[in-house]
Structure 1
Amino acid sequence: MMKLLLPALVTAASAAVIAPRDVVFEARNFTASCLPPGSTTCFYSLNLFMPGTMDTQGYNCTASGTGGPGLLPEIQGGTCLPSSRTFDVLRNETGMTVIASVQVSRLSYTRGAHFIPSEQIQLTHGDDPLEVYTAYVGPKDFPLERIW
Structure 2
Amino acid sequence: MKLSLLFQAAVASAAAIAKRDVVFKIRDFSATCVPHSALCFYSFNMFQPGTMDTLGYDCAASGVGGGVIGLPEVKQGTCPPSSRTFDAIPSEDGLTLIGRVQVSRLSYTTGSYFIPKDHIQVIKGVTPTGDYTAYVGPKDFDLERLDI
User: TM-score of the superposition, structure 1-length normalised?
Assistant: 0.86
What SS is found at the alignment partner of 1:54? coil
Query: Quick check: 50-59 or 128-137, which moved more?
Result: 128-137
1:66 maps to 64
- After superposing on structure 2, the runs of 4+ consecutive aligned residues of structure 1 that deviate more than 3 Å are none
For residues 9-47 of structure 1, give each alpha carbon's deviation from its aligned partner in whole angstroms, at most 9, with x where no partner exists.
xx48x706862100000000000011002x211100000
| Aligned counterparts of 2:92 and 2:16: Cα–Cα separation in 1 | 29
| Aligned counterparts of 1:68 and 1:17: Cα–Cα separation in 2 | 41
1:30 maps to 29
Q: Could you tell me which runs of 5 or more consecutive residues in structure 2 were left unpaired when the two chains were aligned.
A: 1-5
What SS is found at the alignment partner of 1:65? strand
Pairing 1:29-108 to 2, within 5 Å after superposition:
29-37=28-36, 39-68=37-66, 70-108=69-107
- Identity across matched positions, percent: 60
1:147 maps to 146
Q: Could you tell me which runs of 5 or more consecutive residues in structure 1 were left unpaired when the two chains were aligned.
A: 1-6
| Aligned counterparts of 1:18 and 1:108: Cα–Cα separation in 2 | 24
What SS is found at the alignment partner of 1:105? coil
- Greater strand fraction, Structure 1 or Structure 2: 1
User: TM-score of the superposition, structure 2-length normalised?
Assistant: 0.86
What SS is found at the alignment partner of 1:119? helix
| Aligned counterparts of 1:16 and 1:52: Cα–Cα separation in 2 | 19
User: For the aligned residues, what is the CA RMSD?
Assistant: 1.9
For residues 36-60 of structure 1, give each alpha carbon's deviation from its aligned partner in whole angstroms, at most 9, with x where no partner exists.
02x2111000000001110000000
Structure 1's 48 and 36: CA in aligned 2 closer, same or farther, altered over 3 A? same
